[in-house]
């Protein structure tokens, strides 16, 4: 185990520069080729990742755990009820203790301030596996997928349709870092936070904000959506279903973007924010996107632990 009094953390996508982001994506592509060729890429032998989960997960847990195994390391699953965090231990104590045991920490938590506390008191890199405000590891996979399917980022336009949630917010910052022309269409009251838009503009991005899904997707290269009802919002279901009427990514909407590929971070509520026909259609790159969580996160971990 190696510790550092000033480690590099990854709490949102703009914690890395454009050059650093491209380095991570290049490494992800290399790891993807290596895995498919059966070539060894055990860059993290004898390293351990501690994984804190306050929220359940499929893709985040399996991709990080599998990724560490493929890199020659080991991952330890730490559910909230499996450690003292679930019995009232302060986050700062958990963070300082884990720093003495593991080489990096990945945490999937509710409040973004919780990941910030973990990072503040950690002497090893802390990775945001998801908070209510941000999902930067998803954005790494999104950008890797777009670069693969669009042969780079030059001239690419993307449309986000639906809730301006944590995935949307990190994606907006990722588009700004890579010069992707982004239009965001959300119902009134479900916008991306102004502070996030200001950060995107400071990076050189200029997201177009709209309440019209048709206008947003017209001639787009990428159409991206996510669930309208996230974990913890179940009691808002009836209101949200009404508010998001007309925002479904369906075959009719795709007619306005005849060359667009469709993305979704999963899990999807089929028949709500996206139709089954679109997910299963030949314009869906959703499962390439899901696979790329594995490759992008391996690249991130090895970059952080170099």
Binding residues for carbamoyl phosphate: 57-60, 84, 108, 135-138, 265-266, 293
Alpha-carbon gap, residue 289 to 170, rounded angstroms: 15
Active-site residue (options: 61, 135, 147, 264): 135
Q: Which residues are annotated as a binding site?
A: 57-60, 84, 108, 135-138, 166, 226, 230-231, 265-266, 293
Strands in the chain per DSSP E:
48-53, 74-79, 104-108, 126-130, 157-161, 181-185, 208-210, 222-225, 261-264
Alpha-carbon gap, residue 71 to 277, rounded angstroms: 36
Active-site residue (options: 27, 47, 147, 293): 293
Active-site residue (options: 47, 108, 147, 240): 108
Q: Is 293 assigned a catalytic role? A: yes
Active-site residue (options: 147, 226, 248, 295): 226
Q: Is 265 assigned a catalytic role? A: yes
Q: Is 147 assigned a catalytic role? A: no
Alpha-carbon gap, residue 174 to 236, rounded angstroms: 29
Alpha-carbon gap, residue 97 to 101, rounded angstroms: 7
Active-site residue (options: 12, 27, 132, 265): 265
CB 54 within 8 A of CB 287: no
Q: Is 108 assigned a catalytic role? A: yes
Alpha-carbon gap, residue 25 to 299, rounded angstroms: 7
Q: Which residues are annotated as a binding site for L-ornithine?
A: 166, 226, 230-231
Q: Is 138 assigned a catalytic role? A: yes
Alpha-carbon gap, residue 306 to 70, rounded angstroms: 16
Active-site residue (options: 54, 138, 248, 297): 138
Question: Which residues are annotated as catalytic?
Answer: 108, 135, 138, 226, 265, 293
């Amino acid at each position: 185990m190696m510790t550092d009094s000033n480690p590099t953390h990854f709490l949102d996508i703009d914690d890395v520069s454009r050059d650093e982001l491209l380095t991570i994506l290049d490494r992800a592509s290399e790891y993807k080729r290596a895995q498919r060729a059966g070539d060894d890429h055990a860059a993290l032998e004898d390293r351990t990742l501690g994984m804190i989960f306050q929220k359940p997960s499929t893709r985040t847990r399996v991709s990080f755990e599998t990724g560490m195994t493929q890199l020659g390391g080991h991952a330890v699953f730490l559910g909230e009820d499996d450690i003292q965090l679930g019995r009232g231990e302060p986050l700062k104590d958990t963070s300082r203790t884990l720093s003495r045991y593991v080489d990096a920490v990945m945490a999937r938590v509710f409040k973004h301030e919780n990941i910030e506390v973990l990072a503040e008191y950690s002497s090893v890199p802390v990775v945001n596996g998801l908070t209510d405000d941000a999902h930067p590891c998803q954005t790494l996979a999104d950008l890797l997928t777009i670069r693969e399917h669009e042969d780079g980022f030059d001239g690419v336009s993307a449309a986000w349709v639906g809730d301006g949630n944590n995935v949307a917010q990190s994606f907006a910052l990722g588009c700004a870092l890579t010069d992707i022309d982004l239009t965001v269409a959300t119902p009134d009251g479900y916008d991306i936070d102004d502070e996030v838009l200001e950060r995107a503009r400071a990076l050189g991005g200029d997201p177009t904000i709209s309440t019209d899904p048709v206008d947003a997707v017209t001639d787009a290269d990428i159409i991206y959506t996510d669930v309208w009802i996230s974990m913890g919002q179940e009691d808002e279901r009836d209101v949200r279903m009404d508010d998001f009427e007309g925002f479904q990514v369906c075959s009719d909407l795709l007619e306005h973007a005849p060359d667009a590929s469709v993305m979704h971070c999963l899990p999807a509520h089929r028949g709500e924010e996206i139709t089954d026909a679109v997910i299963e259609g030949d314009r869906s790159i959703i499962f390439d996107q899901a696979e790329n969580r594995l490759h992008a996160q391996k690249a991130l971990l090895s970059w952080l632990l170099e």
